[in-house]
Chain A
Amino acid sequence: MADRERLVNIALALIVPACALAAYGMGEPFYVTLATRIAILALAAVGLNLALGLGGLVSFGHAAFFGIGGYAAGIFATHAFNQTPLLASPVVIMATSQMPVIWLVSAVVAGLAALLIGLISLRTSGVYFIMITLAFAQMIYYFAISWPAYGGEDGLSITMRNSFPGVNTLNPLSFFLIAYGLLLLALFAFSRLRDSRFGAALQATRQNEVRVASIGIRPLRIRLVAFIISGMITAVAGALFADLNRFAGPSMLSWSMSGELIVLIILGGTGRLFGPVAGAILFVLFEFALGGLTEHWQLFLGLILLAVVLFGRGGLIGLLAGKVRHG
């Protein structure tokens, strides 16, 4: 079983860059963008998978972190382009268009937001947790809409895609490779984390909170750390997503974005290392293929999703590589 999952993982890891390279070679930049979209959505979902898949924390508010990353990229790009300071008083801070700095800022801000949201919402569980994470994401959404300095309802256009040292990010293949590199990094981190002592404790809190507490591990602390790391990864994906679309807007913070991130994980396979990648491939292909057939593609997405939830548990990875050894 495990070997078959490894084979599936390797195949998935190779198929995305292979398609991107082939599309680039054939002079089809649109398909490279599609592959980039897959890589970025997968990265966001890897973040969520840490909380949802390993920790069993059904966060319906991860759009908050995704959007925070997106707005960080948008705000930095706007200030850097206009050469206005990010902060004028008490000290002048200039913006930069360097992606690594933006990623760092995104991750730190999202980490702080996750700390605050987590401290309140992790005191609860089950349905409460779902609704509260949704409510907090909605709070940030409304804040973004009603704060006119950074676009309000219209969002922020990014005139010039942010830059990466030594790489021309305007080239679609280079940008894809950046996104894909980060995805592989996140997958590596996810697998190391899953197999670490921390990961064992996190999965144990999902399976039996009382037992974990009784052997002297505080479930709240474990979950909080997982929630924060999860939010940070998703935020970096958000920054990339804004750079991909050259736009950061309230839609990145919306509840349906949170829903889509969960959908990605379920389509792929909850808690599986490459579940988010498989899910992102399926989702983007659905969107592309059905969207080409009918403008009402979301209706069919809904039907497919319903069928997967009701009848096909385990997602694509579950289908290809069999069920997980222990649940």
Chain B
Amino acid sequence: MSSALLIEQALNGLQFGVMLFLMAAGLTLIFGVMGVINLAHGSLYMVGAFACAAVAAYTGSFWLGLVASLIAAAAAGAIVEITVIRRLYNRDHLDQVLATFALILIFSEGTRWVFGSFPLYLDIPKVLQGAISLPGGGQYQLYRLAIIGAGLIVAIGLYLLIAKTRLGMRIRAGESDREMIGALGVDIASLNTIVFALGAALAGLAGALVGALQSVQVGMGEPVLILAFVVIVIGGIGSIKGALAGAILVGVVDTMGRFLLPQLFALFMQPSQAATAGAAIASMLIYIVMAFILAVRPKGLFAVNA
């Protein structure tokens, strides 16, 4: 096992983590401000990926596609908030789960109706094609590095937005007391729509960025959604900082587990057995980590109002 390979895997883990952060940040914001659990967040991720792939295929420009993904996901998010989510604020979590589960069915089948069952493909933009060399002699895909960079920029931007702007102040106030800021004259309804659209745009961005690495297809959002749940459960629901820490942790643990566990098992097992056992345990690893963290801190690492 060379150090170059190890660095490459670590970067892959980081890239995966950053992408999970984009999903988890939106989920955790929406939960923090509105108290709604949004299963349809994975659908918004899918909407972003499809919008990017369709526009990029039509115009030939990945960047226009990226803009389209943000607009499409934010618009879908705003529409969903106004038509459905708004009615769920005072309902129990069961109703929220069901309504957003219904939204998944609608989004998935609707997308399949429009685009068909075959996956779309999205090319990496010309500027970001190619690889750069790593210390230790390896090569690393430039595009993946760009995703890491984009994710970190979004994380910083989100921090600035929430800590330094008037909108951020309202979001924080909304997290601590919804009724009170309503009484103080803040228009909660439009604040909710803005937060929901913002979260949706982040999910759409994640979908578009990942769409160039994988195929764009119906159902691509739900596995990521469930991982994002694991992230915010680990990080503490409602905490952006927790979402970042949890996302990096989950991304790195998952990637490194898949890489290292089979090799670790090979030390005391036969190679073929080690490969299957390693892969099986690696696929469960983040859930085991989650269980451990919950056993110690049931409200997550960075619990809000614990």
Which of A121, A143, A296, A309 contacts B95 (CB under 8 A)?
A: A309
CB of A21 within 8 Å of the partner chain = no
CB of A36 within 8 Å of the partner chain = no
B97 surroundings in chain A (CB, below 8 A)? 58, 60, 130, 262
User: Which single residue of chain A is at the shortest CB-CB distance from B226?
Assistant: A138
Binds B, one of A8-16, A227-235, A299-307: A299-307
Cβ-defined contact, B95 with A131, below 8 A:
no
B101 surroundings in chain A (CB, below 8 A)? 259, 262-263, 305
Q: Kindly state the separation between the CA atoms of A309 and B105 in the bound complex, as whole angstroms.
A: 14
B288 surroundings in chain A (CB, below 8 A)? 139
Binds B, one of A38-46, A106-114, A144-152, A239-247: A144-152
User: Which single residue of chain A is at the shortest CB-CB distance from B276?
Assistant: A148
Smallest beta-carbon distance B111→chain A, Å = 10
Cβ-defined contact, B109 with A142, below 8 A:
no
Cβ-defined contact, A123 with B298, below 8 A:
yes
CB of B153 within 8 Å of the partner chain = no
B93 surroundings in chain A (CB, below 8 A)? 58, 126-127, 130
CB of A31 within 8 Å of the partner chain = no
CB of B33 within 8 Å of the partner chain = no
Smallest beta-carbon distance B51→chain A, Å = 19
Smallest beta-carbon distance A231→chain B, Å = 17
CB of B119 within 8 Å of the partner chain = no
Q: Kindly state the separation between the CA atoms of A299 and B102 in the bound complex, as whole angstroms.
A: 8
A130 surroundings in chain B (CB, below 8 A)? 37, 93, 97
CB of A18 within 8 Å of the partner chain = no
Decide: A135 near B229, CB < 8 A? Known: A52-B94, A298-B108: yes
Cβ-defined contact, B280 with A270, below 8 A:
no
CB of A215 within 8 Å of the partner chain = no
CB of A207 within 8 Å of the partner chain = no
CB of B121 within 8 Å of the partner chain = no
CB of B106 within 8 Å of the partner chain = yes
**13 A-B residue contacts at CB 8 Å?**
A52-B94, A120-B291, A127-B37, A128-B233, A139-B288, A146-B280, A299-B109, A302-B104, A302-B109, A303-B102, A305-B102, A306-B103, A306-B106
Q: Which 3 A-B pairs give the minimum distances between C-beta atoms?
A: A302-B105, A299-B109, A139-B287
Given contacts A255-B226, A266-B98, 14 further A-B contacts (CB under 8 A): A58-B94, A124-B298, A130-B93, A130-B97, A131-B230, A135-B226, A135-B287, A143-B284, A149-B276, A263-B98, A298-B108, A299-B106, A305-B98, A310-B99
